[in-house]
Structure 1
Amino acid sequence: MKRVLKACAPLAALFIASPAAAQTDTVKRGFWWYALPKPTVEAEEAALPKPPLIPPMAELARWSPPRIAKLITEQRDYAATVLTVDAVADFWRLQDFARRKARAFAGVTQLALLTHPELSARSAYPVVGDARDAQGAQKDAARRAYLRAKGQEFALVMFSRASCGYCRVQWPLIQRFQDEMGWQVSAQDLDRRPDLKARFGVEVTPTTMIIRRGTSQRMVIANGVEAYPNLIQTAYQAVKLLSGEIRPEQFLTGAGEEGGFFDALANGPVSAGDSSIDTDRGAP
């Protein structure tokens, strides 16, 4: 009997335990028991740290703009949080410093542009109204002369539909282009020639396109109704691009602006990629 009790002692130890241990064991492993989740107490938001002291202006003047902007942001957030007179005043001291630094930069900029006029748009674009009118007339005359010289090499096509009311507005402008520039123009009805839609990639009407005769080169110069001066200007740029006289980066370079302030490539390439013109479609 003693040997039986002695053998059962380890087994009995599993059932004889302190109340705390038994409760913990039941909570962890009991099949029908579970522990209620303890209520979580949200940690209080940490107090916003006070920004570093504003350095003397002589030192602040040597800081970079990003570093100054960071200090202004920190001081603003702190001042808006604590709402003390001193904190708010410090923020506006920094703002005043930034304002004076910006004005100083603007002053030195004006002096630099007077010293180096090639860096200023005023060297290429007059600010006086009468001068701008004279410049605009000069550019328009250059565009018209250029387009008249290209009349035997290019043609203008307008794609339309019978149901397109805008096409009836655009067509007289195309005819005016023919009369003034001496180009051959034509209107193609996509309802009668649906094959042209896929062939030329036309999605909307009216679509006005320049085609280089004897080649597959073509370029859309207007989708929808376009004002006549804009039609001349875009046609001028398109012909120069298709003729290889300008690169795509220079498409906004106006007549007489080549090599000047408004020429994107006046001082060399501006992109890392190859910007050669597609000889089949004349597009980048």
Structure 2
Amino acid sequence: MAVPITFENVGFTYQPNTPFEVKVLENINLSLPEGKVTAIIGHTGSGKSTLIQHLNVLLKPTKGKVWIDGREISANSDNKQLKSLRKKIGVVFQFPESQLFEETIIKDVMFGPMNFGIEEEEAERIAKEKLALVGIDEELFERSPFDLSGGQMRRVAIAGVLALEPEVLVLDEPTAGLDPKGQFQMLEMFMELQRKKGLTLVLVTHQMDDVAQYADQVVVMEKGQIVKQGKPIEIFADPTWLKEKQLGLPTTLEFLEQLNSALPYDLYQYIEEIPLTVNQLSASIFKLSKLPKV
């Protein structure tokens, strides 16, 4: 069952009431749709990473409240009472392979479940299952994770997060540094898992094609605040606004923008719905080809 998560007037300040005080989040009000994919976008420094660190209680709000699975988290919440929530929220940070530390791959993935009280035999079963899920061959299980390629190390680290069997999965630029094929395979793996398990998935990314392809809801952040949220079709309906916010466009819209600039008329007046996928773009171009020649 999915975990309900709501931010209520959340603010966060690093080192408050000191000369080094830095306000990072302000007046965040947000509910994550359960069992759906929410993409969080915004240029570097907009507060995305700080926001997601509140999801698995690595940070607590300095103002306001975060509600996770009916539990209230505020500045005064007792850290000892929050450990159980961290099992429900799995976070895959940028370059998760840097978090590997055990002497063998299997031990590294077993560590999380055992840390939450799972018996060794059951932890090993879970670890093998998750390693197979991310595409790591059984013959590698007893090898050091540091003997693997960069892509394999990332998959092992992700298996470690999945071994906790979280109900919410948070991905912070999970495909950073991968080639296009690796990016596609990694995201397809996550989305297949999300669909099968009914997970709530949060995707922090600069890749607008991924937002257009996978997201049910999009949250746009700027200077620590949410400046817009809605469905992808609503967010991408205003390319000029996105460019003003220093955000990119999906490839389909980039193509459409270039095509429009080369025409003597505004082709958007002939398009019923903004195309976010290649198939939608193809259908739109086919309709445009039937227009009278100008």
**TM-score, normalized by length of structure 1?**
0.24
In the superposition, the TM-score normalised over structure 2's length comes to 0.23
More helix by share: 1
More strand by share: 2
Higher alpha-carbon Rg: 1
Q: Which has the higher contact order (CA 8 A, sep 6+)?
A: 2
